[in-house]
Structure 1
Amino acid sequence: MKQGNRVVLGLCRLVIAVFLPLVLLISILQFYTFNIDFYLATYEKNNVQETTGMDIADLERVTIKLMDYLKDRENDLNIQANIRGENREVFGEREKLHMIDVKFLFLQAFSLRRWGLYLIAAAAVGMFLLSNSSRQEIYKSLLWSGLVPLVFALILLILMQIDFNKYFTHFHEIFFDNDLWQLDPEKEVLIQMVPLEFFTEISRKIFSWFLCIQLALSATAYGMLRSKKINA
């Protein structure tokens, strides 16, 4: 194989190794973020109806509005609901401003996933064009794409188990350049709907699924590579 082809093939492997875990993680994040059944289950578990003063029908309606806003299908979060017997605006100015920041992060993540899929597809095509053993190259890429993220996800799960609040705070300090995320659970409905317990559960589910899928991909790729060597 020519030196130039080797370099391109190495770049194709790198693209898959880097972007496949990102695409997978964002996809799992999207599944839980926009899963209304998951929200309703956590509302019941965390007694959110009593905390917010809203019935389950209003909670579901407000949640769907939030989801549509994050998907960029809604332009604002102006929504009325019956809260403790009073029909009023659900979210205050601080909550709305924070959700502008959250929406921006989600849209950036969706864009990253879309471009990641394009790059992975281009890398796979490149492997088929440049290598006579393209399947083996893809298996190698799958194997390497799983090793580092596996360790990363395992460490995160352990840290979340030790002190979730500490690392959740670090996350916000990294991704937000203001303190709008520090909402008052006594007054603001947004944090009453999704308290720390909600984020603890959704984070564990996301990284647990990520860990399991990456492990399955790596194990499958390793098994296929071993069988190729045995049959060679």
Structure 2
Amino acid sequence: MKKILSLILVISISLFFLAFSIEINSYNKNYYLRSYEKHGVYDVTKRSEEDLSVITNDIISYLKGHGGDELLTPHFNEREVLHMRDVQDLFNLARTIKYISFLVSLAIIFLFLYRKEYISLGRTLFYGPFFLYFLLILLAILASKDFTKYFTYFHLVFFDNDLWILDPRTDLMIQMLPEAFFMGMALRILLSFLVFLSIIQIIGKIYERRGLKSYENLSGEIKGNIFKKQ
């Protein structure tokens, strides 16, 4: 039972921080603005910084679920808006996963603490992320060799239509958010996720040492009582 709980904890914590990493980076307006400057978006779109700033605010608000199509229709055509509906559905799903995984993680951690199983909790938090590191490094290597290929795979897996295929000659969305934008976004999400996992490992090591110290103290007390009886 303890092993099952440990596995569920690793999965739920990973899902929480992955969803959280996606959110904090996708909602970071400064990254969008820096990307526009870096990739010449102002020249491509023939839009001013003020115009793109307003549009970006509406995109982020839409992703957060703070509004519907009315946020996008002043800026984008029908195909782009329909695609963004699918994107919003993914963000809503990620938000749901974030909340559920947080509650599951919290419940299991409290259970470990209630039982004073500090060593088990600590080792779960410390050793659990190592397998994820392997997967993330492998994914990063593959994506770095051919990002377009795996970016296409992502769309084929998560979207059941071809609305994501936009025309850079006419569609503002793909002009604002070219592939290079998503490459940088993916890297930021990956780095954020790794930082959070590292913090979890540090916390895990602290709990493991606390558990070992408690075990040593308890062992010392037991030995002391035995010697007293003798």
* TM-score (structure 1 length as normaliser): 0.85
Residue of structure 1 in register with 2:56 after alignment: 63
Output the amino acid matched with 1:47.
G
Distance 1:72 1:220, change over 3 A: closer
Paired residues of 2:42 and 2:48 also in contact (CA < 8 A): yes
- The one-character-per-residue Cα deviations of 1:4-41 (angstroms, maximum 9, x if unpaired) are xxx2x333212211011111111111111001111111
Identify which of 4, 29, 32 aligns with 1:11.
4
Q: Does 1:182 align with 2:148?
A: no
Indicate yes or no: 2:100 matched with 1:107.
Answer: no
Number of the residue aligned with 2:145: 162
The partner residue of 1:122 within 104, 107, 132 is 107
Rounded Cα–Cα distance in structure 1 between residues aligned with 2:70 and 2:176: 15
- Whether 1:33 and 2:33 are equivalent positions in the alignment is no
Q: Deviations over 1:47-72 (max 9, x none)?
A: 11111111011101001111111111
Question: Which stretches in structure 2 are left out of the alignment for 5+ residues?
Answer: 217-230
- CA deviations on 1:90-116 (whole Å, 9 max, x unpaired) are 211110000000000000000000000
Confirm whether residue 221 of structure 1 aligns to residue 201 of structure 2: no
Task: Point out the structure with max Rg over C-alpha.
Answer: 2
Sequence identity of aligned pairs in percent? 29
Q: Which runs of 4+ in 1 moved over 6 A?
A: none
Displacement of 1:209 after TM fit?
2.6
Contact 1:12 1:124 in 2 (8 A): no
Structure 1: runs of 5+ lacking an equivalent: 1-6, 81-88
Distance 1:225 1:181, change over 3 A: same
The match for 2:181 is 198
Two-structure CA RMSD over aligned residues (Å): 2.1
Deviation at 1:204, TM superposition (A): 1.1
Q: Which structure shows the bigger proportion of residues in helix conformation?
A: 2
Q: In 2, distance between residues paired with 1:13 and 1:184?
A: 47
Quote the residue 2:66 is aligned against: 73
